[in-house]
Structure 1
Amino acid sequence: VLSLSPAKAAHDVIFLDPPYDTGAGHVALDRLARLGWIGPATWVALETGAKEEGALRAFDIIAERKTGKAKITLLRLAA
């Protein structure tokens, strides 16, 4: 994600599965949003460690499910 250039258009769906308990998913979300890869209509699925918490200030959590060691969070860019 660190070498991405600005997007020509936002994507419809983005799946993120970073290493658990590193905070990398939250860093990636911030960077993708700032570069225009995530727009108001984009659905984002973020897989993290089940106990991992982090600030998602720019996003609304639509749904969240825990299964074993993983947590899947469905997000949309906050209005």
Structure 2
Amino acid sequence: MRIVGGRHRGRALAAPSGRDVRPTSDRTRQALFNILEHGDFFTDGGPTVEGRVVLDAFCGTGALGLEALSRGAEAALFLDVSRASLELARANAATLKETGRCQFVQGDAAKPKPPSVNAQAAALVFLDPPYGQGLAPRALEGLSAAGWLAPEALCVVEIGGDDPFEAPPGFEELDDRRYGDTRVLFLRSA
């Protein structure tokens, strides 16, 4: 697994052994960031990734947040219920010498506590929950209610290709793409 674009392009990331964490494939990540970098998702007319605060919820290895930092994001927040996943994301950030622009929070994205006082609300949000558990809508509602999302945040949600999904109230679905057995949804918070 590698960073696929930006200033850290080609740098390797550590991946866990076993099947508890399912990192987004390099190919899917490349397609996703191509869409983000060429899309017009924000009403302020600014770039989708560059200069934005990013939240990588269910962060696993941290690959999505670190990819965003490599492509010019201002800062990244990494949220996961698993201490082992957070330590892996922290180690990958250290490998890239990006820990100064990162915050790591252990917590449940579906029932999050409010962010720390010094954490900025995220304009770009990545959710990659375990497939087949219906966690994405609950996480979107929980993160919004707890103050993790900036107004009109762009939320990129990765779910299993056969997983049902209905956008929760307060979220507008902008796009829906399929990559093999993965489905990637783009939503905007109200």
Q: Which of 1 and 2 has higher RCO (CA within 8 Å, sep 6+)?
A: 1
Give the distance between the partners of 1:3 and 1:47, measured in 2 at CA: 19
Unaligned runs of 5+ in 2: 1-108
Distance 1:31 1:3, change over 3 A: closer
Question: Structure 1: which 5+ residue stretches go unaligned?
Answer: none
Pairwise CA distance, 1:40: 2.4
| Selected match of 1:5 from 108, 113, 122 | 113
After superposition, give the CA deviation of every residue in 1:14-51 in whole Å (9 maximum; x if it has no partner).
11110111101111111001111123231111000112
Q: Percent identity?
A: 29
TM-score (norm 1): 0.83
* 4+ residue runs over 6 A deviation: none
Q: Which has the higher strand share?
A: 1
Pairwise CA RMSD: 1.8
8 Å CA contact retained: 2:157, 2:185: yes
1:39 to 123, 129, 150: 150
Contact map agreement 2:174 2:186 (CA 8 A) in 1: yes
Q: How many residues align?
A: 78
Q: Give the 3-state SS of the residue equivalent to 1:39 in structure 2.
A: strand
TM-score for both structures, normalised by structure 2? 0.38
- Residue 65 of structure 1 and its aligned partner are, at CA, apart by 0.1
- Which structure: larger Rg? 2
Which residue does the alignment assign to 1:51? 162
Q: Matched residues in 1 for 2:175 and 2:155: separation?
A: 11
Give the number of the structure whose residues are more often helix, by fraction: 2
In structure 2, relative to structure 1, the CA distance for the partners of 1:54 and 1:6 (3 Å cut) is: same
